[in-house]
Amino acid sequence: MKMWSKMMIIAVVAFGLLVGCSSGEKTSSDGKGTIKVGGLFDLTGGTGDVGTPYAEGEKAYFEYIASKGLVNGYKLELIGQDYAYKIPEAQKLYQKYKSKDKVSAILGWGTGDTEALRQLVAADKIPFFSASYSENLKNMEESPYNFLTAATYSDQARSVLKWIKDNHKGGTPKVALIYNDTAFGKSPIEDAKNFAKEIGVEIVDEQIVDLKALDATSQLLNMQKKNPDYAILQETWGATATILKDAKKLGVKTQFIGLNWATGEGLLPIAGDAAEGFIGVVTHAFPYEDLPGMAEIKEYLESKGEKLEDKNQKFVQGWVSAKILVEGIKLADDPTTGEGIKAGLEKIENLDLGGLAAPVTFTSESHAGTNQIRLAEVKNGKFEIFTDYIGY
């Protein structure tokens, strides 16, 4: 009798523990389950200078949202890896994320890999946010699962050309284009030339400067022969700094204007005083701007013992990209599938990002979230915004 009683007690306790553990885990941590998102990061490749803080921003937002509890009853998990800006490595990681990790969406990075993957993305029905703002991704027939969270490179160039046209004094403005020989570098060039012709701006020169270039003297000397009033740069921080430093040494008087990846705080310490007067396209806010959207970032960083002033604009850019994707997951009737998340994203209308970026809208006809940018000038070693959001 005593033995039977002991066995009953053990069985009851064990059952109680089993029930308590299984139900507690389900409701407190996993809820209805886990929605996995893949991340393609460039930490060590050609664009790692801007790719690293961008990836940190994406990871930070997923950590922040996890600290707030479940999203529509689901736990969200970001699975990210460095692909070093190599298209074959991106393709390999994509297959892993799809087949092994069973991701429902992907946060991507570069133009070359995003364009190489877009047919697979469409066939596999996996929503894909990348840091590439290639105009090609606007094509809904070819890229129905790609989403653009900022103005395309072509739209950025068009807005810059329109600003030049509206503000230039003294005859027809002459413009040079400086870019690198990658899909990213070449992305806006033909569109920029066509738009310049349309509005009466003269493109007088083009120069190729590698992303890792440490000298741009010969290209700048060739450009100087055409005497452009302005030069539009499609580069990242490293090449931009090289161009600005060499231009200063040569006494080049051209006004340099960089598109979004040429712009940001990381440019300043490597360009030094050669950055003074440089104008940059701003798609996302600087951490030092007093904006409502900064409150979440500040809250997250303080919880980690970090400070807002230690982060840069590309961190904010990654944070915003992840935030927009999560908004689509929140609006999805079925956030466990790519089709469901796509439908949720297409419900986003004029999403207020608290000033961190221009509001975005997605529909079933258009995944180009916005065409709005701001412009900033480097003054006393700091980017200062001097326009509201503008388009063309």
Whether residue 24 is predicted with pLDDT greater than 60 in this model: the reply is no
Mean pLDDT value of segment 94-104? 97
Select the more confidently predicted residue: 16 or 149.
Answer: 149
Task: Name the residue with tokens 């840091």.
Answer: 131
Can you identify the CATH homologous superfamily of domain 153-282+375-385?
Answer: Response regulator (3.40.50.2300)
Same fold, 34-150+288-361 and 153-282+375-385: yes
What is residue 20's predicted lDDT score, i.e. its pLDDT? 36
pLDDT at 315 over 60: yes
Q: Mapped to the 3 state alphabet, what secondary structure does 27-66 carry?
A: HHHHECCEEEEEEEECCCCCCHHHHHHHHHHHHHHHHHHH
Give phi and psi for 288, each to the nearest 5. Answer: -85, 0
* Residues 188-195: contacts with CB under 8 Å, at least 24 apart: 188/135, 188/152, 188/153, 188/154, 188/156, 188/157, 188/234, 188/259, 189/234, 191/135, 191/154, 191/157, 191/158, 192/154, 192/157, 192/158, 192/161, 192/232, 195/154, 195/157, 195/158, 195/161, 195/392
Question: How far is 361 from 355, CA to CA, in rounded Å?
Answer: 15
Q: Using CA atoms in the order 94, 99, 102, 103, what is the torsion angle rounded to 10 degrees? A: 10
CA distance 107 to 53: 14
| Residue ranges of domains in the chain | 1-28, 34-150+288-361, 153-282+375-385
Mean pLDDT is lowest, of 27-36, 84-93, 103-112, 218-227, for 27-36
Provide mean pLDDT across the span 243-258: 98
Average pLDDT over residues 92-121: 97
Q: 21: pLDDT confidence band, cut at 50, 70 and 90?
A: very low
pLDDT higher than threshold 60 for residue 11: no
Comparison of pLDDT for 20 and 302, the residue scoring more: 302
Between CA 80 and CA 108 the distance in angstroms is 10
304: left (phi over 0), alpha (psi -120 to 50) or beta: alpha
- Beta partners for residue 280, in sequence order: 258, 376
Q: What is the rounded distance in angstroms from the CA atom of residue 190 to the CA atom of residue 318?
A: 28
pLDDT in tens, 258-284: 999 999 999 999 999 999 999 999 999
Q: Does residue 68 register a pLDDT over 80?
A: yes
Compute the mean pLDDT over every residue in the chain, rounded to the nearest whole number.
92
Q: How far apart are CA 193 and CA 197, in angstroms?
A: 6
Considering only CA atoms, which of 235, 191, 354, 188 is closest in space to residue 284?
354
Whether residue 225 is predicted with pLDDT greater than 60 in this model: the reply is yes
pLDDT 10s digits, 141-182? 999 999 999 999 999 999 999 999 999 998 999 999 999 999
Interval 355-370 mean pLDDT: 97
Per the rule left: phi > 0, alpha: psi between -120 and 50, beta: everything else, 135 is alpha
DSSP H/E element including 295: helix 294-303
Phi, psi of 282 (to 5 degrees): -115, 110
| pLDDT band per the 50, 70, 90 thresholds, residue 37 | very high
* Under 8 Å between Cβ of 287 and 315: yes
Residue 16, pLDDT score: 39
Residue 33: pLDDT band (50, 70, 90) is very high
Contacts of 322 by beta carbon, 8 Å cutoff, 6+ apart: 57, 58, 61, 62, 78, 107
pLDDT at 71: 94
Instruction: Look at residue 374 and give its three-state secondary structure.
Output: strand
Confidence of residue 30 (pLDDT cuts 50, 70, 90): low
Q: Which residues pair with 72 in a beta bridge?
A: none
Q: Which helix (H) or strand (E) holds 301?
A: helix 294-303
pLDDT value at position 87? 97
pLDDT class of 31 with cuts at 50, 70, 90 = confident
Yes or no: say if 171 and 228 are a contact pair by the CB < 8 Å rule: no
Q: Which residue has the tokens 């230039």?
A: 168
Does the domain spanning 34-150+288-361 belong to CATH 3.40.50.280? no
Cβ atoms within 10 Å of 339's Cβ, excluding its own = 15
- Could you tell me the pLDDT band of residue 196, with boundaries at 50, 70 and 90? very high
- pLDDT for residue 78 is more than 60: yes
Whether pLDDT at 381 is above 70: yes
**Per DSSP, what are the bridge partners of residue 230?**
175, 255
- What is the predicted pLDDT for the residue at 25? 30
> Percent of the chain at pLDDT above 90?
91
